[in-house]
Amino acid sequence: ERKKFHTAPVGQVFRLRPFHVLVATGGGYAGYRKYEDYKVEQLEKRGIEVPVKLASEWEVALYKSVPTRLLSRAWGRLNQVELPTWLRKPVYSLYIWTFGVNMKEAAVEDLHHYRNLSEFFRRKLKPQARPVCGVHSVISPSDGKILNFGQVKNCEVEQVKGVTYSLESFLGPRVPTEELHFSKAPPGHSFQQQLVTKEGNELYHCVIYLAPGDYHCFHSPTDWTVSHRRHFPGSLMSVNPGVARWIKELFCHNERVVLTGDWKHGFFSLTAVGATNVGSIRIYFDQDLHTNSPSYSKGSYNDYSFISNNNKEGIPMRKGEHLGEFNLGSTIVLIFEAPKDFKFNLKAGQKIRFGEALGSL
């Protein structure tokens, strides 16, 4: 009365599908890159300058083969799972210890209050934890690390020192002038010149990287009016400084939400860039925005105007006002027009907190 066991042919057991090969290869390569980034960080801490080494096309394609969008959606669902009360403190304490979170700044310090990881990531701060600088015209919209800043030159923007991306690829085609109340630029001017609306002004940029342990909400960096939103679906590769140094035009590959409008000196834009496990980008006043969809067309984007028959002024934002949030941590890119005497009060690589000065006239 022996039981019969039926086994599949060896060929079926070891049959590899292309998807599995891509995931395994891409995942292994991503792990290797993480290790390389760690070595670079250690060298920089010792004051040793590391030469820029850009990824080749096949390396970028291999990295993109990792299903980061699928993983990010899975991570988002996991974040929504309610944790038992007894498990909350151990789980959150491990995260706090790993990423150096300062819970004394949180509006609610009791870890049992947060029902799931999503609530913990989106925790609010105490009212006076981040005083907003009233003297300088532009403040940091978030906590984070300054990756780069300065004038935009030759229609190229630096994501980190020595690695650039195209201004037009990043922002997309110019928003119609009637939406931004700007005068029409003369034909033949470059994309950068078309954004500068006042004679004597320059175009400036600032890149802020939010680490997983940082405060995840972002705020309005100045008094301005948001007229237009452009959503680019895309990859969700890591945006940590090591990867930003390795992949040219990383911010143009990744999913991002571009808010454009104007402030007292002309053009102003804030872009929230998605990253691995940060597919969810939320803009508080934009209920129609849905990020990290299961599918999208490569190179596509969708526009939404906040100027309508009922609201011809757009969305007014006050300096320091709540603007949106990330699911975990990512990058904010500011690109704006200002007079030539605008000065940044920053150093590349420095840590900054929401409310602190970025620059002024």
pLDDT tens-digit series, residues 7-51: 445 454 445 555 455 445 545 545 555 566 566 666 656 666 556
Show the tokens assigned to 235.
């990859």
Integer-rounded Cα Rg, in Å, for the chain is 22
Banded model confidence at residue 232, pLDDT cuts 50, 70, 90: very high
Question: What span, in angstroms and rounded, lies between the C-alpha atoms of 327 and 79?
Answer: 9
Tens digits of residue pLDDT in 166-204: 999 999 987 765 555 555 555 557 888 888 988 889 999
pLDDT tens across 243-270, in order? 888 888 888 888 899 999 999 999 999 9
For residue range 71-92, list pLDDT tens digits in order.
777 777 887 889 999 999 999 9
Tell me the C-alpha to C-alpha distance, in Å, between residue 118 and each of 76, 83, 121, 342: 8, 11, 5, 38
Question: What's the Cα-to-Cα distance from 108 to each of 44, 111, 123, 127, rounded to whole Å?
Answer: 36, 8, 8, 11
pLDDT tens, residue by residue, 311-355: 667 899 999 999 998 877 789 999 999 999 999 988 888 999 999
2: left (phi over 0), alpha (psi -120 to 50) or beta: beta
Query: What pLDDT sits at residue 6?
Result: 46
CA distance 233 to 253: 9
Q: What residues act catalytically?
A: 143, 219, 330
- Reduced to 3 states (helix: H, G, I; strand: E, B; else coil), residue 283 is strand
Q: Is-above-0.75 flag for pTM?
A: yes
Residue 31's pLDDT is what? 59
